[in-house]
Chains A and B, each alone.
Chain A
């Protein structure tokens, strides 16, 4: 069904205000799209309209994919115009899931369950939260750097990254809230923040480089840690914080893994380049050896965790044992993710510090 062309012609020749109406011409209405039980989600729309992101975008204006072009639209420079530059096959679904799983740190955390803690444990929780505030600051800022450079033909990636910024912002405030809610306070800026360990994320000059370091290595690492929140959290409030944050982080990791998979499948010549990013990022996975932390770079990150896992100042040895277990999990989950992404060969070329923690692959 379209607008009748005779009617349009009559309106144009009418004595009233001059009308063009060519935008109505020859456009047929198509089938309506019925929402599914999940609601009206992006992938339903895309499927109904056979709307797929192009491998390479020739679009140099600001119009999103599928919008009709006008010739006098302003031209802008988009740096990332190849789908493989940024794409992950799950980004639209992850976006919808992120919207479905938004939460409020003000009301969804049972703050009333916080109970006064022994000073050593309160200090440890506050130091851990201080460090996590710094980490989450960076993780919120970084995606934003990339969003404007991504072609509007690949808008699903922009949308996903916007949810990541939102998630990380919420993490920042929930950890700050925890530090200030139970009789403690913020503590010392962490050594790796002061040395700007996170600069490697900010300084990445390629989207995939950023994604590998941030989503696959960095967020994968904290995801494992947050999943251990049952052991780190000392109240229902803290356990719930770690559960909800882990749920968010798992989306970010899933994006990174699927982006890497897309690269492996579509740009296999980039494999060595990817390995070079992994070489650089892997040392952060193992921060200790033989019951000793490497130097002081990870002091504020690892020591509070040791204390929390051990159960206090007098149980540091137990805490160190738990850290060994977390590291083992971290390393193996990391390797499993790389395997899913098509980088199973990483096992044979990871940095030596990781090797002692590697478990045999399941056949």
Chain B
């Protein structure tokens, strides 16, 4: 059914009553006659953006807890949401990405066929555990970082707040799933990462900086790893785990890429700043790569198929790293930053 909107005059009611009630709210409706209809995907966020309720302001002036499109009360107290510009946060597909995230929700406890994960050799099991330990740590830090921004975003862009909430939830799910994988098959949690990139994420000061590091740099590098994990997995359980996580990352990337492209269109003067943020991320990733020997070597064992093939492993790890960089640059192409190819931190390529 298509969305429908009836325009008619709102009813008027007397506020007189014997209980001393105010009732003036009965004569305060912003767009009477709104009747959103379910789409083929149900009654979606996009389907209710009708008339004034779907007008996304360039700057949302109201800084109170008011829902967008309702009638403001004069003198409302502000709650201090610093992110109030549409260009900072908005993309037209945010409502759809949110609904898609809800549709594609999954549960690590039941949706991963854990019982299909067969015993592995000690080196493969421990390498898997080391690999997912770092992925798990990354996901928990993403949860922290996203959670911090929920409150900062203005209520005028509630769709973005909703998307951040679902991403926060997804990050928790990834943490949980990878942690379970680390120990379910007889292994144990491995070593932490050196955390340079994670620290940079935690320390990011603007939503733009956070989104680039989180939704593009992190999401791109993570998606490539998850896809690689799905390929080298020897069980249905592991393949399902990595495939589901990669699908979630696609949505993060979709948001981050379109948001960045839109921001650069609206604020071309921010282009150099964007490069500065990306450079910082690339340097931190390079530092982590060189410091995180257990992670690198675990990948070598996994890509080499065990210790017997570990001699081939570093070459394959190098190839995987190159793929990560290529995927990242491809994502930035899509975000209308093709010149990043020429400006990428050289250390990231080696």
Q: Which residues of A contact B (CB under 8 A)?
A: 1-3, 7-8, 11, 14, 16-17, 19-21, 23-24, 27, 29-35, 38-42, 45, 48-49, 61-64, 66-70, 72-74, 76, 95-96, 99-100, 102, 104-107, 109, 111-112, 119-120, 123-124, 126-127, 130, 133-134, 137-138, 140-145, 147-148, 152, 155, 158-159, 161-163, 165-166, 168-170, 172-173, 176-177, 179-191, 193-196, 198-199, 202, 291-293, 296, 299-300, 303-304, 306, 313, 316-317, 320
Is there a chain A Cβ closer than 8 Å to B11's Cβ? yes
A362 CB to nearest B CB, Å: 34
Closest to B119 in A: A32
With A34-B115, A145-B151 as given contacts, are A106 and B42 in contact (CB-CB < 8 Å)?
yes
A40 is contacted by which of B99, B112, B168, B173 (Cβ under 8 Å)? B112
Name the 5 nearest CB pairs between A and B, nearest first: A106-B42, A39-B109, A63-B192, A144-B147, A169-B165
Are B53 and A159 in touch, CB under 8 angstroms? no
A123→B26 contact, CB < 8 A: yes
Q: Within the complex, which residue of B33, B38, B188, B293 is in contact with A30, where a contact is CB–CB below 8 Å?
A: B188
**CB of B315, distance to nearest CB on chain A (Å):** 8
Instruction: Identify the closest chain A residue to B314 (Cβ).
Output: A17
Cα A152 to Cα B6 with chains together (Å): 51
Give every chain A residue within 8 A of B78 (Cβ-Cβ): 196
Q: Are A21 and B143 in contact (CB under 8 A)?
A: no
Q: Interface stretch among B60-68, B250-258, B259-267, B342-350?
A: B60-68
Q: Which residues of A have CB within 8 Å of B280? A: none
How many Å from the CB of B153 to the closest CB on chain A?
9
Which of B21, B202, B314 has the most C-beta atoms of chain A within 10 angstroms of its own C-beta?
A: B21
A67-B133, A144-B147, A299-B22 are contacts. A107–B185 as well, Cβ < 8 Å? no
A44 to chain B, nearest CB (A): 9
The smallest beta-carbon distance between B79 and chain A, in angstroms, is 6
Q: Which residues of A contact B36 (CB under 8 A)?
A: 177, 180-181
Given contacts A41-B109, A99-B173, 9 further A-B contacts (CB under 8 A): A39-B114, A67-B192, A76-B199, A104-B103, A106-B41, A134-B67, A162-B169, A196-B64, A196-B65
Give the docked Cα–Cα distance between A132 and B162 (Å): 15
Query: Hey, which chain B residues are within 8 Å of A316, CB to CB?
Result: 17-19, 21
Cα–Cα, bound, A214→B151 (Å): 16
Complex Cα gap A27–B297 (Å): 15
Pick from A29, A61, A134 the residue with the most CB of B within 10 Å: A29
| In the bound complex, CA of A293 to CA of B53 (Å) | 31
Nearest-neighbour CB distance to chain A for B317, whole angstroms, equals 10
Q: Find chain A residues with CB under 8 A from B53 CB.
A: 180, 185-186
| B274 lies within 8 A of chain A by Cβ | no
* 13 A-B pairs in the complex with CB atoms less than 8 angstroms apart: A19-B310, A40-B180, A42-B180, A102-B102, A104-B102, A123-B11, A123-B13, A134-B66, A187-B28, A194-B64, A292-B19, A292-B20, A293-B20
